[in-house]
Structure 1
Amino acid sequence: MSTTTASIDIPVPADRVWQLIGGFGSLPDWLPYIPASTLTEGGRVRSLTNEEGGVIVERLEAFDNQARRYSYSILRAPFPVIGYRSTLTVHDKPGGHSRVEWSGTFTPAGTGEEEAIALFHGIYTEGLAALKKTLGA
């Protein structure tokens, strides 16, 4: 099993960040390369459409509003991994700031471990940079 984590400090209160990213269907609100998200199964499954029209289907596995954290798994995606599970968390930092952490575990399938880790680390890093930009921070 492989893992990667990216984090970013944002000079915005954690509650405000969570208000933007805490909804399971909210990716299009802050992630430019995901322009559409459709929720099904009572909001527990999201179908994401990327900029190229590709579809990624994910299931919400755990949600903790108080801890500002949710975890999800991939049901269907064009990624060379299996057993994917990811967690997105917003932490309080002193001075009204926050730290957002995006981590994932997975098993590479049809690619090397380094390539799979680089793929998801890049997605997380670029996504968190887009989040910071969306928040005007």
Structure 2
Amino acid sequence: MRASEIIRGGNGPTPGAVRLLTGVDGSIYRQRLVAPDNADRKLTYEIVEAPLAVLGCRSTLHVPPVTDTGGAFLTWHATVDPAQGTTAQKATTVLEAACAPAFAGLHTITA
């Protein structure tokens, strides 16, 4: 992503806050924060707008600690509604490809 900013709902992790993401190619993504859970280290959000073959997507990121190493483990679970004319498998593949660079970037900045 080239840029990320909260455009509605405050500066912190507030349910309903909307984040605008701009891809390196200029594509626009909007995500709505559904449920931040600091105690359990989880974050659930919905894609509101994206140039992807999905009508709806709700994702949860969970970062449980790895106690023996002091590190953490990232899990991502998404429920996807494919766009008309697209299969669930194709929508999943497109979403995974779109998110992979962001997850790789997380590893880079936290390593």
Q: TM-score range by the shorter chain?
A: 0.7 to 0.9
Structure 1 partner of 2:14: none
Gaps of 5+ in 1: 1-33
Q: How does 1:21-60 map to 2 (within 5 A)?
A: 34-39=1-6, 40-43=8-11, 44-60=17-33
Q: Kindly indicate which of the two structures has a greater share of residues assigned to helix.
A: 1
Q: Which has the higher contact order (CA 8 A, sep 6+)?
A: 1
RMSD: 1.6
The number of residue pairs the alignment matches comes to 103
1:69-105 per-residue CA deviation (whole Å, 9 max, x = no partner) reads 1111111111111221011110011321211112211
> Which residue of the other structure, out of 72, 88, 94, is the alignment partner of 1:98?
72
Contact 1:102 1:124 in 2 (8 A): no
TM-score (norm 2): 0.82
TM-score (norm 1): 0.68
Change (3 A) 1:49 1:125: closer
Task: Provide the identity percentage.
Answer: 34
> Which residue of the other structure, out of 85, 107, 116, is the alignment partner of 2:81?
107
Structure 2 partner of 1:74: 47
